[in-house]
Chains A and B, each alone.
Chain A
Amino acid sequence: MSLHHLDVRNLLCPMPVIRTQNQVADLAPGDELEVLCTDPGALTDIPAWCRIEGHEVVQSGERNGEFFVRLKVAQSSVFHVR
């Protein structure tokens, strides 16, 4: 497992979700990503995206007037297509 960071401060949703989605695509299962943002909407949207994709939100909240979401990449996609 390795921890990665993504800085999306000053971007408004859905850009934080888009950047998160794009970075997670390059990570391995079990990796963690901490997203730093200033749009409080990201605290709603990134966890919603994680629920859809099966990723785990390890922690989220406010820190020094900014927001963060730390997620753990799912072991495998929750979507199986024959």
Chain B
Amino acid sequence: MEKTPKLRKAVALISGGLDSMLAARVVKDQGVHVEGLNFFTGFCVEGHTHAIRNRKGGKRNNALWVAEQLGIRLHIIDVIEEYKDVVINPRHGYGANLNPCLDCKSFMVGKAREWMEHNGFDFIVTGEVVGQRPMSQRRDTFPVIARESGANDRLLRPLCAKLQPPTLPERKGWVDREGLYRFSGRSRKPQIRLAETLKIDEFSQPAGGCCFLTDESYTAKMKDMWQARGEKSYDLDDIMLLKVGRHLRPVAHFKMIIARDEGETNYLLGYRNRFHHLVMTSHGGPLTLLEGQLSDDDLSLAAKIAARFGQGRDAAEVSFLAVTPDGPEKRLSVAPLKPNQISDTWYL
């Protein structure tokens, strides 16, 4: 009796974008059992930071949506702690901002390899396309990722496999190399065409990438945080707060985070037990968190600035309740600064 061939199992990195969706689909269509992995670093744009400002929410998590469309399981894994070393000490350095793309890809493929080994899977699938990204998706960096992750030739990139040496899944016949692709470069047209062929008519294409570490404004705030601390360190709350509110540093030793709307005020209220904060009492206005050691003069300056962002911005006087994390409260009234008194250099 002929022995039934063993069903091969692949773990696919699923970002929520089109490329990883196509890669997983191509392998699944070849009869391989595919499950998805999605890593949450804390810097993922996929996180619902937008929900802070819009309580109605409604925006889906694209990785979950992709998994549902493909009919595969998705394991979302919190790698926040382990990822710190990637961000703080990238072996291959940063890209244009604080994006450690090559280290990041090696890290994620490495985590996928660990998962693959632990769960008895056979190989790893990614949506990488050679030449698509200047740092991590290049002909010369592909072998670096395969080597540093430990995945070696169990790493299959279906969208550009035909431009690479055959990997183990191809050599063993677990997948048919002829059914894989030779996409390269930054053009999205081949992917769009493949999506049409596979009758995938809805997909996400985040214009600004999938990571806040590629964002100039975000990373400026992160660099400021490290400079103020005198060391490169962060926790999850730090990196979430960098996504919320206006950030101003009027003097070197303190920073203000001023909510931009009611949603952000509600969100920042969750941090009121950790920070000095200003609550506007005479007018409607945003909550302001204060980070650093503030003298009475500093507190007064902060209140004058915060007053500028409330409904009393043109009033003669605006009142605040200044609250410390351990309880003591102080009332103060100030004249809001004029627009030309708020220096552009204070904004982070």
Contact = CB atoms under 8 A, between A and B. Distances in A.
A4 interface: no
A40 B51 contact: yes
A18 interface: yes
B9 interface: yes
Contacts of A49: 64, 74, 76
B33 A81 contact: yes
A37 B60 CA distance: 16
A18 B78 contact: yes
B57 A40 contact: yes
A12 interface: yes
Contacts of B7: 81-82
Nearest to A38: B270
A59 interface: no
A52 interface: yes
A80 B199 CA distance: 26
B3 to A, nearest CB: 12
Interface string A65-82: 000000000000001011
Contacts of B64: 14, 17, 45, 48-49, 52
Contact of B61 (A9, A17, A40): A17
B270 A14 contact: no
B33 A40 contact: no
A17 B76 contact: yes
Given A49-B74, A53-B73, A40 B56 contact: yes
A49 B72 CA distance: 11
Interface residues of B, number: 36
B67 interface: yes
Nearest to B55: A40
Contacts of A14: 38, 40, 44, 46-48, 61, 63-64, 76
A61 to B, nearest CB: 13
- Residue from B33, B38, B49, B64 whose CB has the most chain A CB atoms within 10 Å: B64
B332 interface: no
Given A12-B47, A13-B61, A40-B51, A79 B76 contact: no
Given A12-B48, A12-B240, A81-B9, A45 B61 contact: yes
B173 interface: no
Given A41-B59, A49-B74, A52-B74, A13 B48 contact: yes
Contacts of A17: 61, 64, 76
Interface in A9-39: 9-10, 12-15, 17-18, 21, 38-39
A12 B270 contact: no
Contacts of A48: 60-61, 64-65, 68
A52 B58 CA distance: 18
A5 interface: no
Interface string A49-61: 1011100000000
A44 B40 contact: no
Pairs A-B, 4 closest by C-beta atoms: A40-B57, A41-B48, A13-B48, A10-B270
Interface of A: 9-10, 12-15, 17-18, 21, 38-41, 43-45, 48-49, 51-53, 79, 81-82
18 contacts: A9-B270, A12-B48, A12-B49, A13-B48, A14-B47, A14-B76, A15-B40, A17-B64, A17-B76, A18-B78, A21-B76, A39-B48, A39-B51, A39-B57, A41-B57, A43-B57, A52-B73, A82-B6
Interface of B: 4, 6-7, 9, 33, 35, 38, 40, 44, 46-49, 51-52, 55-61, 63-65, 67-68, 72-78, 240, 270
